[in-house]
Structure 1
Amino acid sequence: MTTKIKCYYDVLGVPRDANAEDMKKSYRKLALKWHPDKNPDCLEEATNQFRLIQQAYEVLSDPQERAWYDNHREAILRGGLGKGDNYTDDSLDVFQYFTSSCYSGYGDDDKGFYAVYRKVFKTIFEEDVPFMEDKDSDFEYPDFGNSKSSYEEDVRPFYDFWSSYFTMKSYVWVEKYDTREAPDRYSRRKAEAENKKFKDAAKKERNEEIRNLVAFVKKRDKRVQAYRVAMQSYQDVGWSSTAGLEDQMANHEKSKKHKDNVAILRDQLLEEDEDNDIDKKDEDNVDLQDDALEDEIQDLTLDQPKSK
């Protein structure tokens, strides 16, 4: 049975921006409460709790240790960066969604194009939330919507946001060096610089994965295709006013010109697929492999506090 890792701030019962004096007061109060000598009826529980309180205070009372803990807190709480642990990044594997076999049709049912990718992008966003500085903000990411979503109000904002996606994850779990073990300031700065390279590389790879998925989805989005056809038709006809646009669009969609444009767009999409070496007949068998990051994770050493 895996023991849930508790946040050191929660152990001491203080907020993450607590000052040194507040942490000391809380530590003394809790240490007195859970001292084994004062809890003979629950000796084992008291001993474990007392030790945890000591560990938490030892780390958070040291400015350098606290800074390191703050930077790696999320990974630690998820089971990584501990003694003997190898952190596994369980982010959504987006490569399984680079194929039309992951959805069935363009309806609004659970297996349809819009439901599948709405869930995918919601999952990606929710994975980033724990790493946001202000988790309680009212920010809401643009939703993927459904087949009836407005292009201007929903579809365009969605692709504008996700096409320039940047992961919020820290990727501290790919670091190679424990800066606390550096013998001097120069060595520590050098280790920090090397760690930053590893983190930046991991972030870049994730950003490219998501942006490529966005491009893949956008190319197949019927709402985008319809908008492009409508805009092309608008330019061809040379409308100079938006007055009566809805009526004109309704009539135009029935016209031969509209049907011709749809046929042209379909041919263009097929040509683009061929240029990307995707055989339309074998599209369901596309199998894109995700190169797993296999980085060695350094131990998080929590020594017993030194006796005074």
Structure 2
Amino acid sequence: MPKKRCYYEIMGLAMDATDEDIKRAYRQLALSLHPDKNPDNQEMANNEFKVLQEAYEVLSDPRERKWYDKHRDAILCGQDRDDIVDKEVDVYPYCSSFCYQSFSDDANGFYTVYRNLFKTIADEDLPFRDSDDKDYEEIPEFGNSKTPYSDVHQFYSYWMSYCTAKTYSYFDKYNILDAPNRRVARLIEKENKKIRDAARKKRNEEIRSLVEYVRKRDKRVAENRRKLEAKAEENKRKSEMIRKQQIEARNKELENYQESEWTSMAALEDNLKEIEQHLDDEHNKKKKSKKSRKLVDNTDTIEDMNGENEDEDDNEYEDNLYCIACDKAFKSDKAFANHENSKKHKTNIAFLRQQLESDDQLIDNSGDS
């Protein structure tokens, strides 16, 4: 078996080479090793160019490069890349109460067991995490029984939406370097990606199920929930007390309320009756002297009978010929008598009475409440 060659050596790079260094080295070597540039030894050029492409495919991908750096020694010792499988902690046994003995910080206690477990999972992802990535964030720790709930909340917020950083490239079913053309290479890449995504999804679901199991049994979460419920109950009690105080204060104001004379609906109605009685008396007096009066002008008489004359002339209106309901004055007893028999006057009188009765009822209801 031929000895494996380091990808960094193939490209003439150091292990701390930047992405720009990798691109620059690939362009230079591709020009010199391309089969078209070596017509005298095309077989050697084909092999070297394929190895160069393989090295570039790995080192140009940040996650692939991290995986290669992690397993570089095993690969160079002759272990096949497809046989290298990243070990993952099996989380299934930890979804049981048998994995801890008590809710304490002892060696076999709830908080110690799960603190070590989540640290192991985080360490498995660490080689594949890019600290230069803008989405990179510090992984919160599980803590102990005395950890403040703000830190506990931060821990569960992160782990309940956990996404593994592993590439699962060892699950690839096909080698893209064996593709005879670009079309087949794209199909191979698509198929391999589907397999990797399925493995990544399975791992994410396993960890999230574990986090949900632990959260339901975490005494720190239960204690915080009790505090929130007690606080909500206290706020409810205070709100109810304030509401009762407001009702009592309103009732007290109503008890101490003294109706002003000018706001009394009963007094207003009595005044209205007095005015109507006064107008009736005046009307009767004028009616007795009606025979001694001259006939009024025909035009004025017709307009007064219709109740629609709104034009003023030089004659003065009688002070006592005034309708308070219609807010209108008249020149003669006949015009005033015709107006009283009109439909408009009767409608206004009925409306005014109804409004006064409605307001009086509203005041009575306010006093009862």
Q: Which TM class, normalised by the smaller chain length?
A: 0.5 to 0.7
The Cα of 1:224 is off from its aligned counterpart by 0.3
Identity across matched positions, percent = 39
What does residue 66 of structure 1 align with?
56
Aligned to 1:142: 140
Q: Are 2:126 and 1:129 aligned?
A: yes
- The correspondence for 2:104, drawn from 107, 112, 116, is 107
| TM-score with structure 2 setting the length | 0.49
Amino acid in the other structure paired with 2:138: E
| Residue 234 of structure 1: how far off its partner (Å) | 1.3
Q: Which residue of 2 aligns with 1:202?
A: 199
CA RMSD of aligned residues (A): 3.4
What is the aligned length?
Answer: 206
CA distance in 1, matches of 2:85, 2:219: 37
**Aligned counterparts of 2:9 and 2:147: Cα–Cα separation in 1:** 43
> Structure 1 residue aligned with 2:217, among 216, 220, 225?
220
2:320 aligned partner = none
Contact 2:140–2:158, Cα closer than 8 Å, also in 1: yes
- SS of alignment partner, residue 145 of structure 1: coil
* CA apart distance, 1:218: 0.2
Report what 2:260 is aligned to: none
> For structure 1, which runs of at least 5 residues remain unmatched after alignment?
26-56, 242-308
Instruction: Give the structure with the larger helix fraction.
Output: 2
**CA deviation after TM superposition for structure 1 residue 88, in Å:** 2.6
**Contact 1:20 1:61 (C-alpha < 8 Å) held by counterparts:** no
Aligned AA (1:187) = V
Alignment of 1:258-273 (within 5 A): none
Paired residues for 1:26-175 under 5 Å: 58=48, 62-63=52-53, 65-68=55-58, 70-71=60-61, 72-76=64-68, 77-78=70-71, 79=74, 83=80, 86-134=83-131, 139-152=137-150, 154-175=151-172
| Residue 62 of structure 1: how far off its partner (Å) | 2.9
Question: In structure 2, what is the equivalent of residue 301 of structure 1?
Answer: none
**Aligned residues of 1:129 and 1:135 also touching (Cα < 8 A):** no
Report deviation, 1:9: 2.4
Give the conservation status (yes or no) of the 8 Å contact 1:108–1:114.
yes
Letter in 2 for 1:196: K
TM-score (norm 1): 0.58
Flag the 1:238–1:196 CA change in 2: closer, same or farther, 3 A: same
Greater gyration radius: 2
Which amino acid letter does the alignment assign opposite residue 66 of structure 1?
Y
Q: Which has the higher contact order (CA 8 A, sep 6+)?
A: 1
